Amino acid sequence: MRPPVPLAVPFSASAAFAVYLPPGASSRLMAIILSAAFAVAAVAVVFHGHSIRHRHSAACRRAPSILSAAALGLCFGCMAHARVEAFSWRSSLGFLPGRWRIAAIEGTPVSDPRLTANGLVGYEIELSAVRSSDGVRVTAAGRLAVYARRTGKRGTGGNAFEPLRGQLVLVALRGELLPPRKGGGAWPDALAPRTVFVDADDISPLGPPQALESARVAARRSVLGALSGAAGRAGPLLEALVVGVRDDLDAELAEDFRKAGCSHILALSGQHVGILAAFVSLLLAFAVGPYRARALACVLAGLYLYVVGPLPSVARAVTMFWISSAARAADRPQQPLAVLSIAFAVALALQPQGAHALSFKLSYLAVAGIAVYGPVYEFGLRRWLPPPLSGAVATGLAALAATAGLSIAVFGRLNPFSPLSSAVAGILVTALMWSGIAGAAIAAALPFAAPVTAFITSLPYDALALVMAIAARLPSMETDSGRVGMGLVVALGAAFVYAVPHVAFIAGSRRAGSRHGSPAGQLRFPHRALRHARWPWPGHAEKIRPELPHQRQLASPHRRPFRCRAGHEGVGDRAGRGIDDP
């Protein structure tokens, strides 16, 4: 029997529907009306739906709860929608356009620097004040995308100042602020920040960095140095897989990942968190036991999130790991879709504007596809592939089915062989990460062992590079026009493949029910007797097999039990009724 739908699923689904509505009060009004309709329907089912609720179907009995959860989710989504719209309105530079020229800005970086394809280092600055060319300083609000010209190997280069997250900095402007980019959709256009290009020397500190942030950056650099020293030429790829830093990654290898449809492997996600958590649990399970090892893995997952930064995919994976671990510790394991729904609600409550980031959408869609499509796809692939390979390919197909529509609409490219490539690459990525982390620990304790660890780490690295080079040359689907339509076609095709087994099961059940006169989906037996009257009873082995020796039936040990009352037959009085008499 299929388990009932957790209430977190309709709550988060309705919240997602509300938060992704177009900006404007009319969208929230429509969501509120729909929420009221769900609430009225739930009340009507409670008071007037006795015939529905007393049926044997669990969905009918849970209809009031599901409708109430959907109504609450719509209200929650409306509040998140209003918060995101207020966030998009708060952008203010403090000066009237055209009156004064902005010479510098003051603000704090809200994320770690990222390296662009053009070699620039990008920062997202939270504005606090702006300065004019006349020396006037006024307060400002909003965010600004700053791109600095990179001259060194890591960071902004050389002796140039590299700002830390949360540190107050001053950015001198050499040119005008560029308007936000348009054309990405209603919400991306509303949330897009202004852009400015500067040199690395134009960024200077206005205050000391925070102590915790300095410790985080120091730990991050130590991890990067250990991985680079122990992995050799596999170090840049290992840095991208473990820490998410792709500054020194080979451009040709990154292009092969993109053409093969495996760019998600380079982005930190639940796959990497799961590999690291499994590695830690495997090491600690023998020493402290499985439950304590999982608790320590939760703590280390939180530290890992702190070191690499609150990326949407990593935050989602760590939150899901915490929720599932807490549910398992309480002996209440939850379905993956329920855990994902709770994680989505938590992320939406903490930072609603992050729900409109492309990485956020792809991450949650991929996991939702694995939870919904994965079991059905694996069931279909079991006919041709062994269980481990069928599970890996089904996971890739499920993630591709859920994200294909959005990927085609945004990038205009789709590699249909990416599930198979991802399945093979997943094994090599696990081997590379485990060997690289173990090698970094060994090289830190025994520096003379670094060449050996580099050689061992290079084996899965070479195999992974070869697989990506072959997969990148496989045919793919590309389009420049009609991306939305093509994405809808792919999404509908994935839904059709998912629905085929269910439709076949329902059709078969109805045919069998109409043949025997019983409702569909119930357990049915043939109308004729299951056992003929002259057939031997179970236990009469000598009648079925005459060659077996005949044994005398032993008397029951409960021949004379204790009677409840003299002269009356009570509970347990088997002898008074002659049940055990031979």
> DSSP H helical segments within 157-204, as ranges?
186-191
Instruction: Give the rounded distance of the alpha carbon of 573 from its chain centre.
Output: 61
Does 450 share its domain with 364? Answer: yes
Question: In this structure, is residue 550 part of a structural domain?
Answer: no
| Final residue in a domain of this structure, among 41, 60, 89 | 89
- Please give the model's pTM, rounded to 2 decimal places: 0.78
Summarised one tens digit per residue, pLDDT across range 379-414 is 878 888 887 778 888 888 888 788 877 777 777 777
Same domain, 172 and 149: yes
Instruction: Quote the CA–CA distance of 198 and 572 in Å, as a whole number.
Output: 92
> What are residue 198's DSSP bridge partners?
148
Specify whether 419 is located in the same domain as 493: yes
Alpha-carbon gap, residue 572 to 500, rounded angstroms: 55
Question: Does residue 461 share a domain with residue 495?
Answer: yes
138 strand-pairing partners: 130
Are 343 and 463 part of one and the same domain?
Answer: yes
> What is the amino acid identity at position 122?
G
Distance CA 308, CA 314 (A): 9
Whichever domain contains 136, its CATH number is 2.40.50
* Dist CA 437 CA 242 (whole Å): 9
3-state secondary structure of 184: coil
537 DSSP assignment: P
Q: Which of 176, 208, 240 is the last residue of a domain?
A: 208
Are residues 68 and 158 both part of a single domain? Answer: no
Digit-coded pLDDT (tens) for 247-259: 788 888 888 888 8
Give the residue carrying structure tokens 């960095």. 209
Report whether 208 contacts 182 (CB < 8 A).
Answer: no
- The pLDDT of residue 12 is 93
CB 103 within 8 A of CB 42: no
The candidate with the shortest Cα–Cα distance to 117, out of 320, 298, 255, is 255
pLDDT for 240 equals 87
Domain that holds residue 67: 8-89
Residues 204 and 220 in one domain: no
Residue 443 within a domain: yes
Burial 90-103 (b: 16+ CB within 10 A, else e): ebebbbeeeebebe
For residue 232, being part of any structural domain is answered with yes
CA 576 to chain centre: 66
Instruction: Please give the C-alpha separations between residue 437 and each of 280, 440, 570, in angstroms, as whole numbers.
Output: 11, 5, 71
Task: Output phi, psi for 539, to 5 deg.
Answer: 105, -20
In a domain, 234, yes or no: yes
What pLDDT digit, counting tens, does each position of 20-44 carry? 999 989 999 999 999 999 999 988 8
Residues of the chain with pLDDT under 70: 1-4, 49-60, 94-99, 150-160, 479-491, 493-582
Please, which residues have CB within 8 angstroms of residue 436's CB and are 6 or more apart in sequence?
227, 230, 231, 234, 238, 241, 242, 457
Same domain, 311 and 420: yes
Q: Of how many residues is the chain composed?
A: 582
- 539-570 exposure pattern, b = at least 16 Cβ within 10 A, e = fewer: eeeeeeeeeeeeeeeeeeeeeebeeeeeeeee
Reported as type and span, the H/E element at residue 148 is: strand 143-149
Shared-domain flag, residues 327 and 378: yes
The CB density around residue 481, as the number of other CB atoms within 10 Å, is 8
Q: Is residue 460 part of a domain?
A: yes
The total number of structural domains that make up the chain: 3
In a domain, 533, yes or no: no
Dist CA 526 CA 374 (whole Å): 35
- CB distance 257 to 468 below 8 Å: yes
Q: 160 and 137, same structural domain? A: yes
In this structure, the answer to whether residues 75 and 111 fall within a common structural domain is no
Listing DSSP states for 257-286 in one string gives: HHHTT-HHHHS--HHHHHHHHHHHHHHHHH
Three-state DSSP string of 66-129: HHHHHHHHHHHHHHHHHHHHHHHHCCECCCCCCCCCEEEEEEEECCCCEECCCCEEEEEEEEEE
Question: Which pLDDT score is estimated for 248?
Answer: 82
CA nearest to 119, candidates 95, 154, 143, 144? 154
Burial letters for 153-163: b for 16+ Cβ neighbours within 10 Å, e otherwise? Answer: eebbbeebbbb
Cβ–Cβ under 8 Å, residues 254 and 262: no
* Closest residue by Cα to residue 499 from 368, 376, 374: 376
In a domain, 556, yes or no: no
Last residue of a domain, one of 183, 208, 233: 208
- The DSSP 8-state label assigned to residue 204 in this structure reads E
Q: Does residue 480 belong to any structural domain of this protein?
A: yes
Q: Could you report the per-residue pLDDT of 149-184, keeping only the tens digit for each?
A: 865 544 444 456 788 888 899 998 887 888 888 777
- Integer Cα distance of 502 and 507 in angstroms: 9
Strand, helix or coil for residue 426: helix
Question: CA 133 to CA 95: how far, in whole Å?
Answer: 12
Same domain, 176 and 255: no
Place of tokens 């409702």: 519
Structure tokens at 405: 């529509």
Amino acid identity, position 34? L
Per-residue model confidence as pLDDT tens digits over 59-77: 567 788 889 999 999 999 9
pLDDT at 402: 82
